[in-house]
């Protein structure tokens, strides 16, 4: 390839030299022929080599190379005829070869679009630019410079085919650039080469009409330059491909030529112009009319697309809330409405996925979930996404029953419970589904009923629930509680009761577990099972934990000041352990009340460690390094207990779940689990606390088996601060 470039440079230098010496008559004809044809051959070789050796845009350069082969052959033919002393007729066989370059190069330029055929818009723009340019060329050369073209009609036609072909090539290339075609835009050398051909052909027409053109004259330098640029453009190094937006000025080129054609036709009513100029200008305006109709068609298509996009969820491609409402309204507006069922789906623990793995992983999970939902639903059903992690499915049919909706909900849950593989990590989620079957007169009431049922399913821990008529009252109560909890969650309305923890070796109360209660102004004292699910679903757990910690640490500091060196345990939520600022918040409270960190125990459940182990581990490490004790609550209630016990090296305490303590005296398996867990924990250096001790015999047995601490109604019920004095007397 370097040899071809070197030969080409040498041929260009010789051609320029010969062109300068030609007026002196010192250049042999054979020398001009060899050097000029050498340049053409090298340009053709560069383009053909590009098509053979490089895969991208191979067809483009193959077509341009084929056109150059015809062009070079025609040039060689004219020189051979001159060498023999013959005078070529006009037009001749050489003109056929030269003109063959234009359709081949034009098809090659269209190949920059890749496998996708160019739009009618761009083809029309290129044609308008080409014909408009030819019309301007005609008025400049034919009507102004020459007055008229001499020769036969065929000769005039062939003469004007050259600039017309150049205009089509250049107009299409320029329109590609303004339309955002990256390959054409990043190859300005090709555009410059075609532009040079326009100048060269214009010079050829003018000089030929004046009888001044010479095949070996300086005018050939223009063709030489154009071919040189086209040959170099084949190997022009493109920048890294980037997304190229269509230029806002993409209509400037066709509009400019359209205005020019209109001006020419207006001038033709007062000034005599050649019939060729008028014909070209008229053809340009005809294409402009076609372009206007194409623009109107595109606008109509864009309107339809936007109308469709306005009813589609951009992430999953499913119907959005607006489309679902319209679909339900259409079903209800029929003369004979068919039964309708709505399934409202909410992915459980989706927020943990976003917080643990990032929003891109959450988006991927939603896309995968929507794909699975499509697989289990019928084609007649409408599947939509309402936003966030909420999906909706609308069923309808003549024989649709509540049982059919119930079976579909079961299939959906079974499908979504299968693990999702995201970035090499298996993620398992659950789903809560609310079903409303002919539950209202319009879409809003159907949504309301399905939402009530979905909340009941979520409160039950997942699965699906069918809406019942009396659920409306429960929904109103839930809404009222949610509003009131938002108001009270960070106030003194959240009060603490303390349950004592007995040291089984010494019989002394070593600490208390702080248990939150809600003093509701109308409904009285509410237990955690009433308001904690509401707090979790509405993002209030962090504020609630902060309130409980503040009260518990303040009271424990007061006990220490009174000489009672007891500890206090506070339950943390999964939300708290996902924030790495949580340890600092605790440290600030300990410092503010001058309470040693060892007096505080943070209790966590095993399920909390299922969400984001990496962040949870860092938070617990920080708490342990501060001196705060970490306790595993409800130990033994999940299949991954031993696995997490191995990983959670920061745990200083585990609390045996009350389900094992309750029947350990009557169930040999429960007794074996309790005894083996005590031994295992002691081997790991972990303190064991038994929950739910209800009688003296269970307490004595636990003491005999070596359990460290116990709590339960037999030892002491949860009580407010005022009732703790007798408990301190035991310590």
Length reported for the chain: 731
Strands (E), 417-547: 420-422, 425-427, 430-437, 463-466, 494-503, 509-520, 524-526
d(CA 492, CA 521): 12
d(CA 501, CA 513): 7
Share the mean pLDDT of the chain: 79
Closest by CA to 120, choosing from 294, 249, 284, 302, is 294
Instruction: Check residue 653 and report its DSSP letter.
Output: E
Q: Are 313 and 325 in contact (CB under 8 A)?
A: no
d(CA 282, CA 285): 5
Encoded tokens for 468: 């019942």
Q: Is 49 helix (H, G, I), strand (E, B) or coil?
A: helix
Q: Is 333 helix (H, G, I), strand (E, B) or coil?
A: coil
Predicted pLDDT at 488 = 93
d(CA 344, CA 348): 13
End-to-end Cα, the chain, rounded Å:
95
Q: Are 493 and 540 in contact (CB under 8 A)?
A: no
Q: Are 64 and 104 in contact (CB under 8 A)?
A: yes
Predicted pLDDT at 184 = 47
d(CA 660, CA 691): 9
Closest by CA to 674, choosing from 685, 683, 662, is 662
Closest by CA to 504, choosing from 651, 337, 673, 709, is 709
Q: Are 284 and 257 in contact (CB under 8 A)?
A: yes
d(CA 491, CA 484): 11
Q: Concatenated DSSP letters for 167-218?
A: HHHHHHHHHHHHHT-HHHHT-HHHHHHHHHHHHHHHHHHHHHHHT---TTST
- Which pLDDT tens digit goes with each residue over 70-85? 988 888 888 777 777 6
Q: Where do the H-state alpha helices sit in 239-358? A: 252-268, 275-309, 321-332, 350-357
Helices then strands, counting H and E runs in the chain, come out as: 27, 16
Q: Are 702 and 655 in contact (CB under 8 A)?
A: no
Which residues of the chain are under the pLDDT cut of 50?
A: 3-4, 7-8, 11, 13-27, 115, 148, 181-186, 239-248, 639-640, 729
d(CA 313, CA 326): 15
Q: For residue 32, what are the CA distances in angstroms to 37, 79, 635?
A: 8, 9, 98
Phi (first) and psi of residue 426, to 5 degrees: -85, 120
Encoded tokens for 478: 């839930």
Q: For residue 672, what are the CA distances in angstroms to 297, 316, 666, 675?
A: 79, 51, 11, 5
Q: What is the pTM of this model?
A: 0.49
- Which pLDDT tens digit goes with each residue over 512-560? 999 999 999 888 999 998 898 888 878 899 999 999 999 999 999 999 9
10 Å CB burial of residue 569 (0-12, 13-18, 19+) is buried
Closest by CA to 179, choosing from 82, 126, 246, 122, is 246
Q: For residue 379, what are the CA distances in angstroms to 315, 392, 397, 412, 700?
A: 21, 15, 12, 15, 65
Predicted pLDDT at 145 = 58
SS3 sequence of 500-530? EEEECCCCCEEEEEEEEEEEECCCEEECHHH
Predicted pLDDT at 467 = 84
- Which pLDDT tens digit goes with each residue over 89-132? 777 888 888 888 888 887 887 766 554 555 677 667 767 776 77
Predicted pLDDT at 3 = 47
Instruction: Spell 618-645 as b/e; 16+ CB within 10 A means b.
Output: ebbebbbeeebbbbbbbbbeeeebeebb
Q: Concatenated DSSP letters for 671-708?
A: HHHHHHHHHHHHHTT-EEEE----SHHHHHHHHHHT--
Predicted pLDDT at 706 = 95
- Which pLDDT tens digit goes with each residue over 180-236? 544 444 467 877 887 787 777 777 766 766 666 665 555 677 777 888 888 888 877
What's the chain's Rg over C-alpha atoms?
A: 43
d(CA 218, CA 247): 39
β-pair type (463-466, 629-635): unpaired
Encoded tokens for 560: 């220490």
d(CA 263, CA 277): 12
d(CA 686, CA 708): 10
């Amino acid at each position: 390839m370097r040899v071809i470039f070197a030969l080409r440079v040498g041929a260009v230098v010789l051609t320029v030299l010969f062109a300068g010496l030609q007026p002196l008559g010192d250049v042999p004809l054979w020398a001009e022929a060899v050097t000029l044809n050498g340049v053409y051959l090298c340009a053709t070789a560069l383009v053909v080599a590009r098509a053979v050796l490089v895969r991208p845009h191979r067809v483009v350069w193959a077509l341009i190379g084929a056109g150059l082969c015809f062009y070079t052959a025609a040039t060689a033919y004219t020189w051979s005829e001159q060498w023999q002393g013959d005078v070529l007729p006009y037009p001749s066989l050489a003109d056929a070869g030269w003109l063959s370059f234009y359709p081949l190069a034009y098809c090659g330029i269209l190949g920059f679009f890749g496998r996708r055929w160019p739009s009618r818009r761009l083809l029309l723009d290129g044609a308008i630019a080409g014909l408009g340019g030819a019309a301007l060329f005609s008025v400049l050369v034919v009507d102004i410079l020459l007055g008229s073209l001499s020769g036969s009609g065929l000769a005039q036609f062939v003469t004007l085919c050259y600039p017309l072909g150049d205009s089509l090539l250049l107009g299409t290339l320029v329109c590609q650039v303004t339309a955002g075609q990256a390959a054409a835009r990043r190859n300005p050398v090709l555009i410059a080469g075609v532009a040079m051909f326009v100048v060269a052909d214009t010079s050829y027409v003018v000089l030929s009409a004046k009888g001044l053109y010479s095949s070996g004259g300086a005018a050939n330098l223009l063709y030489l330059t154009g071919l040189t640029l086209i040959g170099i453009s084949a190997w022009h190094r493109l920048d890294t491909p980037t997304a190229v937006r269509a230029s806002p000025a993409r209509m400037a080129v066709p509009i400019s030529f359209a205005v020019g054609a209109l001006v020419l036709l207006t001038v033709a009513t007062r000034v005599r112009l050649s019939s060729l100029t008028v014909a070209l200008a008229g053809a340009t305006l005809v294409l402009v009319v076609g372009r206007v109709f194409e623009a109107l068609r595109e606008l109509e298509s864009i309107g339809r697309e936007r109308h469709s996009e306005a009813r589609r969820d951009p992430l999953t491609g499913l119907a959005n809330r607006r489309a679902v409402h319209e679909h339900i309204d259409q079903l209800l507006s029929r003369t004979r409405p068919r039964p309708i069922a709505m399934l409202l789906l909410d992915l459980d623990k989706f927020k943990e996925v976003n917080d643990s793995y990032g929003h891109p992983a959450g988006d991927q999970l939603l896309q995968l979930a929507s794909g699975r939902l499509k697989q289990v639903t019928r084609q007649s059903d409408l599947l939509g996404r309402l936003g966030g992690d909420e999906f909706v499915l609308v069923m309808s049919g003549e024989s649709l029953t509540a049982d059919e909706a119930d079976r579909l909900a079961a299939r959906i849950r079974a499908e979504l419970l299968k693990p999702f593989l995201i970035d090499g990590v298996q993620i398992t989620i659950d789903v809560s589904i609310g079903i409303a079957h002919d539950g209202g007169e319009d879409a809003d009431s159907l949504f309301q009923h399905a939402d009530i049922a979905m909340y009941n399913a979520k409160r039950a821990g997942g699965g699906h629930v069918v809406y019942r008529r009396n659920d409306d009252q429960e929904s109103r109560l839930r809404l009222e509680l949610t509003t009131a909890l938002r108001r009270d969650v960070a106030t003194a309305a959240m009060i603490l009761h303390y349950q004592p923890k007995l040291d089984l070796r010494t019989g002394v109360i070593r600490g208390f577990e702080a248990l939150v209660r809600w003093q509701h102004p109308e409904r009285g004292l509410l237990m955690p099972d009433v308001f904690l699910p509401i707090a979790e679903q509405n993002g209030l757990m962090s504020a609630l934990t902060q309130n409980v910690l503040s009260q518990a640490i303040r009271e424990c500091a007061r006990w220490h000041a009174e000489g009672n060196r007891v500890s206090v345990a506070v339950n943390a939520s999964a939300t708290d352990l996902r924030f790495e600022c949580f340890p600092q918040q605790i440290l600030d409270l300990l410092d503010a009340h001058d309470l040693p960190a060892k007096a505080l125990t943070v209790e966590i459940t095993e399920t909390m460690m299922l969400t984001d182990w990496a962040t949870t581990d860092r938070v617990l490490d920080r708490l342990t390094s501060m001196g705060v004790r970490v306790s595993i609550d409800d130990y033994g209630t999940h299949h991954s207990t031993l696995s997490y016990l191995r990983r959670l090296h920061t745990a200083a305490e585990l609390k045996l779940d009350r389900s094992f303590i309750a029947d350990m005296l009557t169930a040999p398996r429960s007794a074996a689990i309790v005894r083996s867990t005590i031994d295992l924990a002691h081997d790991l250096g972990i303190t064991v606390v038994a929950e739910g001790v209800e009688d003296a015999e269970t307490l004595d047995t636990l003491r005999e088996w070596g359990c460290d601490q116990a709590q339960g109604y037999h030892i002491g019920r949860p009580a407010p601060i005022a009732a703790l004095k007798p408990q301190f007397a035991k310590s």
